[in-house]
Amino acid sequence: MTRRTNRILLVVVLVAFINLPVLHSTWTRWQVDRNGTDTTAEVVDTRVLGDEADPSYWLVFRFPEDIDPDRVPWSAQVERETFEGAGAEGSVEVRVLEDRPAAHIVEGQVRNPLGLIITLIADAILLAILLLVWRGRRTRPVPIRIAAIGDVERCPPGAVLEQIEGDLYLVRGEVTGIDGDEIVLDAGERDVLVILDGHRNPVGYQQPAEVRGRIVP
């Protein structure tokens, strides 16, 4: 697996990790809207949080036993009108997946945008990093192509691109790509594509290697 493939996989994992909570929440809400059952839940507590200038209204409720035999208490932030009505009646209307009590939507529920905002900020930061990396890669010189005159050898870590004589070069660097009869070495400021031309390569991916070869036009 090449370094490029590893980077792509890393980006995919990061994007999935950042967006999974919002995607899961959206998917669950869609399932509740489509397949949920309307029921009346018992309100066991009401709470007003925050200050007088910006209060938030919360209900604590339990589903009937036929939906949730354990009768676990759930909480939800709701609009003031729903809060007052539920407090007076001791019940609130909820749409729920019968086999998943955790998947529910309370009537008049207030959706907190904080999770979406955090996700968008994280996506923007990741996009900015990718753009910086991409611009950095664009400024990297075109790889040099050389034909090996001997086997690839293991060596201490380090990056070297040294002209020995005429078109003969010594290359030392990390193996960043292996593709059949070709390998790519990271020689510091420049990548070097080495055509093995029948010579052996005992060095694995992301390990330091050294080879001598002649420039290929």
Q: Where is 76: in which H helix or E strand?
A: strand 74-78
Q: What is the pLDDT of residue 59?
A: 95
Is there a domain that residue 132 lies in? no
Is there a domain that residue 121 lies in? no
Torsion, CA 201, CA 207, CA 211, CA 213, rounded to 10: 90
Is there a domain that residue 16 lies in? yes
| Residues of the domain holding 206 | 144-215
> How many domains does one find in the chain?
2
Q: Indicate whether 8 and 111 sit together in one domain.
A: yes
Q: Indicate whether 193 and 91 sit together in one domain.
A: no
Q: Indicate whether 173 and 111 sit together in one domain.
A: no
For residue 169, the tally of other CB atoms under 10 A from its CB is 20
Is there a domain that residue 134 lies in? no
Q: What is the pLDDT of residue 126?
A: 83
Q: What is the pLDDT along the chain (217 residues), one digit of tens a residue?
A: 455 566 677 778 888 888 888 888 889 899 999 999 999 999 999 999 988 888 999 999 999 999 999 899 999 999 999 999 999 999 999 999 988 999 999 999 998 777 778 888 988 888 888 787 676 555 667 888 999 999 999 999 999 999 999 899 999 999 999 988 999 999 887 899 999 989 999 999 889 999 999 999 8
Q: Indicate whether 90 and 174 sit together in one domain.
A: no
Q: Indicate whether 16 and 75 sit together in one domain.
A: yes
* Helices 3-35, 114-138: crossing angle, 10 deg rounding: 160
Is there a domain that residue 130 lies in? no
Q: Indicate whether 106 and 201 sit together in one domain.
A: no
Q: What is the pLDDT of residue 11?
A: 76
Q: Indicate whether 109 and 181 sit together in one domain.
A: no
pTM over 0.75: no
